[in-house]
Amino acid sequence: MKILHTADLHLGAKNIKLPLDKQTEIRNEQNLLITRLFDKAYQNEYDVILICGDLFHAKNIQSKIVNNFFKAVENFSRPVLYVKGNHDEKFDFSVTIPDNFIILDENNPTYKLEDVMFFGHISPNTIDKYYNKNLKNILLLHGDIKNKTSSDFVDINMYTSKFHFDYIALGHTHSFEKFNFAGVVAAYPGSLFSNGFDETGEKGYIEITLEENLKVNFVSYPGRRYVIANCDITNLINYNEIIDKIQSELKKIGSKDDLARVILYGYYTEESEKYIHSIEQVLKEQFYYFELIDNTKLKIDFEKIKNEDLSFKAEFLLLVEKGEQDEELKNKISQLGIEALRGDDISI
């Protein structure tokens, strides 16, 4: 049996920090990618698709998005098994859905396909009523299996201590992770799409081949990605050197179609050509979306300033030296004061 396992689609989610035209464009692209995913699953002869929660991001989703998804499900024609996630609690699933979209819950706990029994996110007591060791058994769960303090914590040991599953399909974590519980493979496919800079990295789904031996493979899926580059500009003086460094770091992790964030760090001198606005304008033209965060600090030659004649900065440093603070605090006050006198952003 060939199975596609996905989760956390969060259809309808949007990054409100993006311009409205890009929010709309990304949602339309995701609709197209959903259609292509189900078409690809049909063409590649997947027997069933598992979706482990957080299908829709909120209660009120554009009808265009909902209709597009269920049309893709209908065209797949084979079973699509679903367990609800924490973001789906308020979504009204009483809307007309295709017959092949099957919600697994306490009211409909199992689905049998050939010699495989699929169990929804249900209690172990309910599983006990239907469990058959002569079948292959797959469990679908949505929740955090790692953090016991999480409100979405799921104690996977409640299931693995009582039953042997051939695979446990997970949802909730937005990056791919695979675990082994006493010989039982459990995995998060991660989210299919990135919806913010807190969701960087490769996105995709899991392909499961269930024969005599279980095979679990992560499959990367195309789409715009959020990428973050950290750039140390220490010792870079020239404006062009800084741009070249940023471009070099971004080239390692992304492409012009991605949404890029660059975080500058390190130290610059008074001679540095650090024209932040100009850098942003140049790089905005090179990426689908670009933003720059400047965490650099001014490297101050305090001894040079102290020797300046008729200088407010020199007078300020002399006053700080006469203070009763310890050396660490004096250094901090000196740094912030010089930055303020220069008109720089304060590096607090």
The domain locations on the chain are: 2-220, 226-342
**Which tokens sit at 37?**
């995913």
Q: How many CA atoms within 13 Å lie on the side-chain side of 5? A: 32
> pLDDT of the chain along its 348 residues, tens only?
999 999 999 998 888 889 999 999 999 999 999 999 999 999 999 999 999 999 988 777 888 999 999 999 999 999 999 999 887 666 777 777 899 999 999 899 999 999 999 999 999 999 999 999 999 999 999 999 998 888 889 999 999 989 999 999 999 999 999 999 888 999 999 999 988 999 898 899 999 999 888 999 999 998 889 999 999 999 898 889 999 999 999 999 888 999 999 999 998 887 788 888 888 999 998 999 999 999 888 777 667 777 777 677 778 878 877 788 887 787 778 777 777 776 666 655
What is the fold, at CATH topology level, of the domain defined by 2-220?
Purple Acid Phosphatase; chain A, domain 2 (3.60.21)
Helix (H) or strand (E) holding 83: strand 80-83
Give the CA-trace dihedral at 14, 15, 19, 23, to 10 degrees.
-30
Q: What is the dihedral of CA 58, 59, 60, 65, to 10 degrees?
A: 60
Q: What pTM was estimated for this model as a whole?
A: 0.84
Q: What are 232's strand-pairing partners?
A: 265
Cβ-contact 335, 300 below 8 angstroms: yes
Rounded to whole angstroms, how far apart are CA atoms 267 and 154?
A: 45
- Residue that the structure tokens 């989210």 belong to: 191
